[in-house]
Structures are given as structure tokens and as C-alpha cells.
Amino acid sequence: NYIDKEYTNACIYVGGLSERYGTDLLIETFKILNTNNLKYKLILVCRLNEYIDYRNEFRKYDWVEVHHVSGNELIRLYNKATIALMPLKHTKYNDLAVSIKLFEYMSYGLPIVATSNKAMKEIILDAKCGIITNDDSQSYSNAIINIFENKADLEALSQNALNSLKNNHTWENRALKVSYDLLNKKDNK
């Protein structure tokens, strides 16, 4: 429930930090969001080498936290956040890929703001658990603002994320679908 969150305007991203993963998109988005002292929080959770490389660079922004954690510490950070972020750049590979983090985000009941990559877009739209946006900072910031400004939508997206796991949106079902699709393509050649 978003009311129980430690920060009311906090977003979380868990994954790699690079242009491919959309780190630049996130930073530019949160620069826009934090104009006029709006105070949107960005929680980044990354691998150890990225944490070491980026933690000092991100200290200049009071609205970003960078962590390298797992287990109970990661759960604590998920519980601080209200929205989860999937800012992947649009590429042919990303159109096919589905991050396991998508399902992890859903398991915490976090609405998702994702860029328009085909496979993840299909899951998010089918589950009605997030907003799909272009991979530019203005579109991405508008999507985040829209979720935070409409508490009824926020609550519905959150509930849909949790319900979707009960309705076959799991990593295992995704693997079965990919296997089925690959076998059918092979048989149809």
C-alpha cells in the first residue's frame, strides 16, 4: 500500500548502471522531476563494481541514493519505494528481453514505469501494472508524475502488479512461452 511507504515520492531501479540500462535517462528524468524542489527520490541498487564507480558521482544530487545490497537490505529498499523503474533503451535485443526484475517489482506490488520495449511492454500492459513511455526524459518524468498525482491509479496499478503474479505472469511462464515460440518457429520453417 503506497500510504505505508517511507517516502511518498520514491522510485526504485535495481540493475546495471550504464547507458544501455538507461542510467542517463533516469538521471535526466529526476533532474526534471526535482526542479522547483518537488523532491522525488531515486533509489538505485546496482552491482558492487558500479556502486564503487558511481557512488561519488551521484553524491552531488540530494535526491539519489546508490546502494549495493541484497536480501533483507534490498527488501527494506523496496519497501521505501512507491514506483519501480525499467528505463531500458529501445534496441532489438531489449525488444526480446524480459528482465527478472520486472517480476520482482511486481511481487512487491510496485507500479512500473517502463520504456517501450516489446516483450516487457506486452506483460505490463496485459497485467495493467504500469505505464509505458518513450525513452526520453520528458516522457519518462511525465509518466512518473501522472502515477504519483493520481492515487487511485497508483493503488490500482499496485494491486494489479500483485494480482498478475497469480494470473500467470511469472518468470517460469515467460520461459515456457519463449520455449514454445522458439519451437513453433523452428517447426514452421
Phi, psi of 75 (to 5 degrees): -60, -40
Q: 91: pLDDT confidence band, cut at 50, 70 and 90?
A: confident
C-alpha cell at 146: 501522472
DSSP label at 62? T
Q: Is residue 111 over pLDDT 50? A: yes
Contact call for residues 30 and 104 (beta carbons, < 8 A): no
The pLDDT of 99-109, averaged and rounded, is 92
Measured between alpha carbons, how far is 148 from 40 in angstroms, rounded to an integer? 10
pLDDT tens for residues 9-68? Answer: 999 999 999 988 999 999 999 999 999 777 899 999 999 999 999 989 998 999 999 999
In this prediction, what percent of the chain has a pLDDT beyond 90?
66
Distance from C-alpha of 51 to C-alpha of 109, rounded to nearest angstrom: 26
Alpha-carbon gap, residue 82 to 71, rounded angstroms: 19
pLDDT value at position 98? 84
131 φ, ψ (degrees, to nearest 5): -120, 135
The CA R_g of the chain, rounded to the nearest whole Å, is 16
What pLDDT was estimated at residue 188?
56
What is the overall mean pLDDT for the chain? 86
